[in-house]
Amino acid sequence: MANKVLPRNKIDKKFTWNAESVFPSLKAWEKEAAQIVEDLPRAKEHQGRLAESADTLLEALNVSEQLIGRAYKLYMYASFSYAVETTNQQAAGLLGKSQGIYGQVAAAIAYLQPEILGIGKDKLEEWMSHPSGEKLAVYRHNFEDLFRQQAHVRSAEVEEILGMVLDPFQGAFNSSSMLTNADFKFKTIKDSKGNIIDVTQGNYDAQLMHLPDRKARKAAYETYMHKYVEHKNTLAANLETSIKANVFNMRARKHENTLSASLFNLNIPTDVFHNLINTFKKNLPVWHRYFDIRRKALGLKKLAYYDMWAPIAKKKVKVTYEEGVKMICESLAPLGKEYVDTVRRGCLKDRWVDVYPNQGKSHGAFSSGAQGTYPFIMMSYTDNVGSMSTLAHELGHSMHSYLTWKHQPFVYTGYSLFIAEVASNFHQAMMRGHLLNTVKDKNFQVALIEEAVGGNFFRYFFQMPTLARFELETHQRAERGEPLTADMMINLMADLFGEGFGPNFDIDRERVGMTWSTFQHLFADYYVYAYATGISGAHALAGRILRGEPNAVKDYLGFLKSGSSDYSLNVLNKAGVDMTSPQAVEETFAVMESYVDRLEKLVG
C-alpha cells in the first residue's frame, strides 16, 4: 500500500471522470449558469393559463423540464467536481452557485402542481384521451400520482415558498460536508513497524480499515473518530437542523409524522419500514454468529469496531482496476452482450469512473449524472476485492440510470431512493454467484466472502438498519419538541450498536456512538432503511437469474428501464419481488447465512 496519497494533478487523466464531456470548460459552465438565470422568466409565461388548453399545459411542462434538466446538469457537474477535490475553492463556489440556481428554478415552476390539480382529473383525462393528446398522455402516471398526493399539495403561493427554502435547507448538509471533507485534517499515524501513514477521507474506509496490522487500524480509527468527537456539538447541531427541516416539511404538508410523510411520497406503506426493522432484529443471532467467527479467526478475545474489516485471508488478494472490470463483466454475462459491452466501454474507454484516491477527495463512492451525460462514478479504487465490489456496486447504479435515461421521457428519468440500491446490490450478488463457483483459490474465496459479509452486508444489512432505528428515534423526539444534543445522539447510537454487536464486542461508546456523524446519508430523509430493502430486492432478483428462472433476465432489464414510470413497489413486483412482505429480507438473510457457513468451513 502506498502510504502517501497523491495530489489531484498527479492522477493520470485516463483514470479521472470525463468532465469535459459535460462542459468543455469552466467558461462554458458559467455561460450556461448565466443563461439559465436569464431564461427563468420563461418558466412563468404559462402561469395562470394551464387550464386554457392541452397545448398550453404541454408547453408549460416542456419548458419546466428543460430548465430543471439544465439546472440539474449544472449542479451535477459542480457537485462531482467538488467531490473529487473538496479543497478546491473554485469547485466549492460552483456547487453553492448551482444549488442557488436550482432553487430558483424549483421556485419558478412551483405553480405547476396546484394549477394542474385545479384543472381536475376529468378534464385532464379528456385531453389525454383525444387523438391529439398522445404527447400529454405520457404524463398519465405523473398526474395520477399528483392527485394521489392532492391533500398534501398546498396553494401556489405556499408551494413557491417551499420551493424557495430548498436552497437554505441544504445549509446543514453543506456545513457538515465542508467541515468533514474539506476542513478536517487528521494526524498521521504509525504502524507496528514505525512507518508513518497519512489518514484522509479518501483512504480511511478504502485502505486503512483493511490493514492486517491491528495497531495501525486502531490508531487510524481512533485518530479518525477523534476528529468527529472533537466537533460533536457542531455536527449534532447540523443533523438536528436537518431533522427539524424534515419536521417542518411534514407539518407544512399536513402529514401525521415524518416517516409517513417520507414514505407517502413514494406510495410506500410504513409497514415496509417496520417489517424490515423487525426482521433485522429477529435475525441478529445470524450477525452474532458471524462476529464470533470473525473474532476467533483473528485470534481476539473481543472484537472492536476497527476489526470489522480486518483481513481474515492469509494473503492479500490483489485485483487491479483492469482485472476488476474483467471479472465484473464476466459475472454480468447472463444479462447479454450489449449490457456487458456498455459496462466495459464505460470503464475503459468513456471514462465513467474517477478511479483512484487523491488528496482532498471525498470519502465513499457514488454514481451521478443526468440525462444527456454519462452515469459517472466517484470512488477510490485500491486494488483489492473490496474495491472491485464497490466498482460493481456503483456500475449497477450507473446502468440503472443509463437504461432509464435511454428508455424513458424526462418526467420518468429519476427513480426513487427505495429502489436505488437494488441494481447496485444486484451487480454484487451476480459477481459473487459467479466468482464463488469459478475461482477455486481458497484465499480468494475467503476475501470475497469477507467483502460480502464484512463489507457489503455489514454496511447494508447491519449499519443501515441500525442507523434507520436511530433516525426514527431522533425524528420522533424532534416531533415531540425534545432537544437533540450530541451526547443524546452518541448514547442512543452506542446503545443500538451494543445490542447489534452482542456480548463479545468491545464498545468504545464515545467513538462508536459518533458513527451517525460519518454517514451523510442521514441528511436525506429516511434513506438509510432503503439500503436494506434494496439489498433484499437485489438478492431476490439475482436469485431468479442464478437459478435460471424463465424470463428472469427480461424482467430485470425491464425493471432497469422503468425509471419512475410506475410506483416503486409496482416496478419491483413486475420484476418478480414483493417488498410488502418480509420474504425478500428473510431470503437475503438466508443468503448471508450461507456465506457465513462457507466462511466457517474455509477458516476452520
Quote the distance between the C-alpha of residue 107 and its chain's center: 26
- Annotated active-site residue 394? The verdict is yes
Residue indicated by cell numbers 414483493: 578
SS3 354: strand
For residue 52, what is its C-alpha cell?
Answer: 386554457
Alpha carbons 573 and 268: distance in angstroms, whole number: 13
Strands 303-304 and 505-506, how do they pair?
parallel
The set of long-range contacts for 140-147, using a CB threshold of 8 Å and a minimum separation of 24, is: 141/412, 141/565, 141/566, 142/411, 142/412, 143/116, 145/267, 145/567, 146/113, 146/116, 146/117, 147/117, 147/121
Greatest C-alpha distance within the chain: 78
Separation of alpha carbons 187 and 223, rounded Å: 7
Helices (H), 265-336: 270-282, 284-297, 321-331
Residue 328 and residue 395 in contact, taking contact as beta carbons nearer than 8 Å:
yes
Ramachandran angles phi, psi of 416, nearest 5°? -70, 160
Beta bridge partners of 7: none
CA 152, 158, 163, 169 torsion: positive or negative? negative
479-500 in b/e form (b: 16+ CB < 10 A) is: beeeebebebbbebbbbbbeeb
Q: Which of 394, 450, 451, 479 does the annotation list as catalytic?
A: 394
Q: Residue 254: left (phi > 0), alpha (psi -120 to 50), or beta?
A: left
Helix 112-119, helix 121-129: angle, nearest 10: 80
* Separation CA 504–CA 301 (nearest Å): 8
Closest of 469, 475, 464 to residue 495, by C-alpha: 469
User: Closest by alpha carbon to 529, among 590, 463, 576?
Assistant: 463
Helices and strands, number each (H, E), in the chain: 28, 7
Torsion of the alpha carbons at 1, 440, 556 and 333, rounded to the nearest 10: 90
Whole-angstrom distance, CA of residue 209 vs CA of residue 519: 16
Interhelix angle 417-438/552-562, rounded to 10 degrees, is 150
Catalytic residues: 394
